[in-house]
Chain A
Amino acid sequence: MSGGFDIYVAGVGGQGIGLLSEALIRAVDYAGYVVKGCDTHGLAQRGGSVSSHIRIGAEAHSPLVSEGRADLVVALERHEAVSAGRAYLREGGTLLWLDSTWQPLAVRLGGARSAEVADVEEAASLRGGRAARVAPVAAVDPRSHNVVVLAEICALGLVPGLRLEHARSALADLLGGAALASSLALLADR
């Protein structure tokens, strides 16, 4: 891959960002590219913001994606999609987002406005990029939507060279038993 490719993944603690980013890193590795990354968990408890950085290509040195430089921003929640898109998306990049809503405290207390679909789309369009919405699947456990999003990334070809078979190999590294079977079934649905 020439020029490198940066992915910034954002969500809320408990959504399985860690598994999603580890699976992406391993899938990219299976695809034959040099890859590195970093989870930034800080004080994130269940319900706090979490993010992961993934950098592909030999010219990526730091494991951290820089602001305004992510070719792909993946967000598993609406407010996180707005924040991550505005902070990290590069010119012409893609913002893939799962349309779930976990209201931040200030929104619940009425001091801040809830993020809307239009806010996500604006975050992408301000960068001359596009937003791609993933609708939650009612039949799928909320904690498994990380794999739904992984399948979407592969199926839409959002990461150059990354295919579903690479994601399958990655998940097989990370999961076993029933968890692996149900995750592979989600990939097969795409």
Chain B
Amino acid sequence: MKDLGATLLGKEAFSEIVIGDTAVVRAMLESGVRSVTSYPGSPTPEIADAIRAIPASSRPFRFEFSVNEKVATEVAFGSALNGHLSVVFFKSVGLNVAADSFVQLPLMDIPGGMVVVLGDDPGANSSQNEQDNRHYARMSYMPLFEPASAAEAYSMFKAAAGLASRRRMAVILRLTTHVCHAKERVAFGPYAPAPFDPTPRFDPDSGNYVPLASSVFPLKRRALERLAAIASDPEALATNRLEGRGGSRRGVIVAGAAYLSLMDALEDAGPRPDVLKLGMVHPLPAGQVLEFLASHDEVKVLEELDPVLEPDIKALAYDAGLRTRIIGKRDIDERMGEYVPSKVRDILGSAWPDMFDSPRPSALPAVASPRPPQLCPGCGHRSAFYAIKKALSGDDITVADIGCHTLGSFPPYGMGRVLLSMGHSTATASGLALFNGSRKVVCFIGDSTLFHAGLPGIANAVYNAHELTLVVMENGTTAMTGHQDHPGTGKSFNGDSPRLSVRAALEGLGVANIREVDAYQQAKLIEAMRAATSEPGFKVVIARHPCMLKFTREARRRAGPAWRAKRVRVDQASCTRNLECVGRFGCPSFQVGEGGAISVNADLCIGDGSCRQTCPSGAIVEDLGGER
């Protein structure tokens, strides 16, 4: 088996098949990064997986999963102030959490330099929106590089780190989901570890670090001047390239993964347009863009998600008095979804109807039932939602938060019917409970999210005397993103750490009404929910059960060859086929056969038995023959 850690640490140049997230880690090593922070969120947690593959003893930088993205950004900033090249990475919407500190970074002189790696998610593959974080680059005057592939994720990280170090600033590397996860053979350069100088070099006199009132203006001026200089920085501009012989009257300006989709679409095209492929999309390389515009009659601005480049490009052309026809977004659909090859082909065909001779292949109408995401077999959240639903009336209001338990909003549970963002649930529920004496309000939050952004809403509910019930779905991990530790687990990325008790945190915030129930104990949970929701004030029910996906994997690993799988079976003699297990409890292990006969899919069942109490006829029994 190849050892990823040893491979990544290789001193000589080499090539390997890696995903974009892994390629970024090699770039960190080659660039001399000293400090890395993150909060887990798709599509970026695999960066941490590659970091973990490098043994801590030979890892030349420190890594931590911080409590949230804002904290992660601040730790990276502080480290960089002392002169250490620092990186923070997180998912698209993580930038909203980090924003309060993030937008200040360009005002600062950052001696070590800092790279902010964003995992944007066009297509909303695993996010609550598909926000275009290029807007943040514009808003905060920060340079932004946008690679198209795993190989470019590597090379542009190095360009971003170089720029950040040289100009003592923060620079954004904006990845997207299918750049993070794209896999290809990437050629890496040599790695010469530099000796580490831990001297804390923060010097408050090397620049003003306390922007306040009028002292903001010299800092803002410096940020804008720096940005203007970068627009003509040769090394930054080297990430852009012109493709084509320049003889075409048509051109396309494109960046990121949409470039690869464009290349695919053009394989089917007649005469090929020239292409200006941008690596640095902010600041806009005005000189290169103007030259491209001036040498073509028609230019399509092909950008995934929002028109961010388009208005600037049109403004450049206007100011220069160019007559080039600039084709931007033509409809709302061009702002939506991932720019996969078929979508790009349709967009090009809309701009230039003569470009393609024949229609593109498309999918046949779907006939098989889709398979929406669902809670795993044995998940404590399923048991909890099943019970909580019984304790509430259909008219009551339930509020979801972010995490595995968000899946409770899907059938058959319908628990958690409104969702904004990480940690919103208590405060949104507080508002829903105002002027509301008739419908009970219950909200949910997971333990990692509680520490991430849930605490202020709870403090507010106590402080402002809101009337609602919060259910903390405590599974002892950050499950949705791959089982990362959090402050409540007693472990950090770097080893054992003090375990922050959820209950103690709640008590510390002044919550007086707290109940704790194992989520598998459905009768007790129903009773706890009925009691809590009938009492006045702010109540918390902690519904606790370990993540069974993690628990089962660890148990199987520990047991090795001695592992005995457990499962349940349905006793056909006592089964009355009322479908409670399938229709209301909803564990995917139950399958329905001819005439409504229920069977258990042995590939899925983990034998947790949380289903047995749901069967009114007691037909779900332990399957003692479940060895495999």
Contacts and interface: CB of A to CB of B under 8 A. Distances in A.
Interface of A: 12, 14, 22, 25-26, 29, 34-49, 59-64, 66-69, 79-80, 82-83, 86-88, 90-91, 100-110, 112-113, 115, 119, 123, 126-127, 141-143, 172-176, 178, 180
A181 B407 CA distance: 38
B264 A47 contact: no
A104 B369 contact: yes
Contact of B549 (A45, A49, A103, A105): A45
Contacts of B261: 61-62, 64
Given A66-B340, A66-B342, A102 B601 contact: yes
B1 A105 contact: no
Contacts, number: 190
A22, A47, A102, most chain B CB atoms within 10 A: A47
Contact of A25 (B1, B17, B367): B17
Contact of B184 (A35, A79, A87): A35
Contact of B260 (A44, A62, A109, A126): A62
A59 B181 CA distance: 20
A35 B185 CA distance: 8
A43, A83, A107, A180, most chain B CB atoms within 10 A: A43
A62 B178 CA distance: 9
Interface residues of B, number: 60
Contact of B603 (A86, A91, A100): A100
19 contacts: A25-B17, A37-B183, A37-B184, A38-B178, A40-B178, A42-B373, A43-B480, A44-B373, A45-B407, A64-B340, A80-B371, A86-B366, A88-B363, A102-B601, A104-B368, A104-B369, A107-B369, A108-B592, A180-B1
Contacts of A106: 369-370
A108 B375 contact: no
A79 B364 CA distance: 15
Contact of A46 (B181, B263, B376): B376
Contacts of A64: 178, 261, 340-341
Contacts of B361: 66-69, 90-91
Given A47-B604, A48-B373, A105-B588, 13 more contacts: A38-B178, A39-B181, A39-B183, A41-B181, A43-B125, A60-B264, A62-B178, A66-B360, A67-B362, A88-B363, A104-B372, A109-B411, A126-B364
Nearest to A61: B263
A120 B374 CA distance: 24
B245 interface: no
A116 to B, nearest CB: 10
Interface in B602-625: 602-604
Contact of B370 (A83, A103, A123, A174): A83
Given A37-B183, A46-B604, A47-B377, A67 B363 contact: yes
Contacts of A61: 260-261, 263-264, 267, 341
Contact of A38 (B183, B263, B601): B183
Nearest to B266: A61
B178 A83 contact: no
Contacts of B178: 38, 40, 62-64
A83 B368 contact: yes
A172 B361 CA distance: 37
A14 B260 contact: no
Contacts of B1: 172-176, 180
Contacts of A44: 373
A67 to B, nearest CB: 4
Interface in B572-599: 579, 582-583, 586, 588, 590-592
B182 interface: yes
B110 interface: no
Nearest to B588: A47
A104 B371 CA distance: 5
B441 to A, nearest CB: 26
B1, B377, B583, B628, most chain A CB atoms within 10 A: B1
Contacts of B190: none
Contacts of B411: 105, 109
A112 B364 contact: no
Given A35-B184, A43-B373, A108-B592, A173 B2 contact: yes
B429 interface: no
A29 B17 contact: yes
Contacts of A108: 582-583, 588, 590-592
Contacts of B42: 41-42
Interface string B403-431: 01001000110000000000000000000
B257 interface: yes
B126 interface: yes
Contact of B373 (A26, A45, A178, A180): A45
Contacts of A62: 178, 257, 260-261, 263-264, 340-341
A60, A143, A174, most chain B CB atoms within 10 A: A60
B367 A86 contact: yes
B362 A68 contact: yes
